[in-house]
Structure 1
Amino acid sequence: MALRWTDTIDIAIELSEAHPEVDPQWVRFTDLHAWICALPEFGDDPNKSTEGLLEAIQMAWIDEAD
């Protein structure tokens, strides 16, 4: 099952596994967008992202990192 933009927690988990050395607090949204789209399990339309979705994913990733 492919990840969609609204799968914030699952995307955060995948990002933490793909980028364990990164502090998600300091990731720019442009980089975050690119990293999400590059995830093997990601299957949503890259153009459907919004600032709100990216922020929710970043917050979930920060929570996952703690």
Structure 2
Amino acid sequence: MKLNWKDHEEIAWALADAFPDQDPLRLSFPKLHKMVCELAEFGGDPNASNEKVLENIQMAWYEEKK
């Protein structure tokens, strides 16, 4: 099953695996959006995200790295 924008926890885990040295708090939302869309596990509509969705992903990723 492909991930969608509502799967922020699972996307965060995938990003942490794909980019282990990246600090999620240092990413712009456009860069984070690009990284999510490039994940092999992601199958959502690239145009269906918004700032709140990206913030949820960013914070979940940050919590995963702590």
Query: By the TM > 0.5 criterion, same fold?
Result: yes
TM range (shorter): over 0.9
Residue in 2 aligned with 1:16?
16
Q: Distance in 1 between matches of 2:23 and 2:42?
A: 21
Q: Specify every segment of 5 or more residues in structure 1 that has no aligned partner in the other structure, as ranges.
A: none
Residue in 2 aligned with 1:51?
51
Q: Distance in 1 between matches of 2:51 and 2:25?
A: 15
- For these two proteins, the number of residue pairs brought into alignment is 66
Secondary structure class of the residue paired with 2:35: helix
- Give the TM-score normalised by structure 2: 0.98
Q: Distance in 2 between matches of 1:9 and 1:32?
A: 14
Secondary structure class of the residue paired with 1:3: coil
Identity over aligned pairs, percent? 48
Secondary structure class of the residue paired with 2:56: helix
Q: Specify every segment of 5 or more residues in structure 2 that has no aligned partner in the other structure, as ranges.
A: none
